[in-house]
């Protein structure tokens, strides 16, 4: 496979997954945090979303310090062209990468991503009003899920599918670690809030941001203990967005790409696996959750860089 095709498929899946994850974050913030945290300032309600996507500096550069409002965050996270992680930008880039790789993806995949981009581009020609924001985010999530379903049922298995899966699961692992890191800092135990409605809504919002609320409640029946949440989102092998699950799937995808004969990607993969093997929520809390997640995100970035380098080293068909 040509390296540019492998690269396009990898980034198509990453940008598409990023758009869906961002839509889920925004939707949950609208539906749950706003109704639960009446005493919080508007800035406190929306700043975590900028932190999760590492967009605070870009936002402040565009609007200025202390200018954080719901309307501006909605515009910045959905339609702002200068924001490389906005939903509009991610879907545009996903569609462009899909166009480059059209001969390696199915007709159904191309039609779905092309129609999604055209629809979103039309919807965002005018500012997104808060009253229609939830419906917009739900639509994006559903269409991204539909694309993944079409890919699963129509794309040929092989190297191309391996790159698609590698990008998808790497992006999911990155987002899970970011959400857990930022939101846990907002939920650091405050004895005056334990067991309160605010405490409940905050933990529920974290899990719903990962589509894991119902699964968590089925497994744990003692409320929202921080230790249980960390155990579930990091180590639960059957939860599709846990770090353990996504890392295991990345390993399988890496094998499918055929680049395991290289040194960089397998070494970076082993670093990620080593952070989870023999570890536990108790050990992570004793050494520091933030420190663990920072190191995990660095390992994710290292795997991305290694895989990018190995694409070029392995696929030598380009002139």
- Using one digit for the tens of pLDDT, what is the confidence trace for 76-112? 999 999 999 999 999 999 999 999 999 999 999 999 9
Are 100 and 203 found together in one domain? no
Above pLDDT 90, what percent of the chain? 60
Lowest mean pLDDT of 148-152, 200-204, 270-274, 291-295, name the range: 200-204
Are 55 and 176 found together in one domain? no
Are 163 and 292 found together in one domain? yes
pLDDT at 74: 93
Are 161 and 309 found together in one domain? yes
User: What mean pLDDT comes out for the span 18-30?
Assistant: 92
If one counts the domains in the chain, the total is 2
Are 196 and 308 found together in one domain? yes
The strand ranges marked E within the chain are none
Are 31 and 109 found together in one domain? yes
Q: Which domain range does residue 298 map to?
A: 156-318
Are 144 and 161 found together in one domain? no
Are 207 and 128 found together in one domain? no
Final residue of a domain: which of 124, 155, 186? 155
Could you give the CA distance from residue 317 to residue 45 in angstroms, rounded to a whole number? 50
Final residue of a domain: which of 111, 129, 155? 155
Final residue of a domain: which of 107, 130, 155? 155
- 3-state helix vs strand vs coil in the chain, percent to 5: 75, 0, 25
Mean pLDDT of the chain, nearest integer = 87
Could you give the CA distance from residue 212 to residue 205 in angstroms, rounded to a whole number? 10
| pLDDT tens readout for residues 262-284 | 778 889 999 999 999 989 999 99
pLDDT at 114: 97
């Amino acid at each position: 496979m040509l390296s540019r095709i492998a690269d396009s498929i990898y980034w198509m899946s990453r940008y598409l997954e990023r758009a869906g994850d961002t839509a889920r974050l925004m939707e949950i913030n609208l539906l749950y945090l706003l109704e639960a945290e009446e005493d919080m300032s508007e800035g406190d309600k929306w700043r975590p979303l900028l932190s999760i996507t590492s967009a605070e500096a870009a936002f402040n550069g565009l609007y200025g310090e202390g200018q954080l409002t719901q309307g501006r965050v909605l515009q910045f996270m959905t339609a702002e062209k200068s924001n490389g992680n906005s939903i509009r930008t991610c879907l545009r880039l996903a569609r462009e990468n899909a166009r480059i790789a059209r001969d390696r993806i199915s007709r159904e995949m191309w039609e779905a991503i092309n129609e999604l981009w055209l629809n979103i581009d039309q919807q965002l020609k005018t500012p997104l009003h808060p009253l229609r924001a939830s419906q917009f985010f739900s639509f994006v999530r559903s269409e991204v899920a539909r694309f993944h379903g079409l890919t699963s049922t129509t794309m040929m298995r092989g190297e191309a599918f391996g790159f698609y899966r590698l990008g998808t699961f790497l992006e999911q692992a990155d987002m899970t670690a970011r959400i857990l890191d930022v939101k846990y800092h907002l939920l650091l135990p405050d004895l005056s809030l334990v067991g309160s409605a605010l405490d409940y809504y905050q933990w529920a919002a974290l899990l719903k941001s990962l589509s894991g609320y119902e699964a968590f409640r089925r497994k744990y029946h003692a409320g929202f203990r921080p230790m249980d949440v960390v155990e579930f989102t990091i180590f639960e092998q059957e939860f599709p967005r846990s770090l353990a699950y996504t890392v295991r799937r990345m390993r399988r995808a890496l094998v499918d790409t055929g680049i395991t004969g290289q040194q960089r990607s397998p070494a970076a993969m082993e670093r990620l696996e080593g952070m989870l093997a023999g570890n536990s929520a108790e050990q992570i809390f004793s050494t520091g959750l933030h420190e663990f997640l920072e190191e995990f995100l660095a390992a994710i970035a290292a795997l991305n860089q290694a895989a990018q380098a190995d694409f070029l080293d392995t696929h030598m068909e380009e002139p």
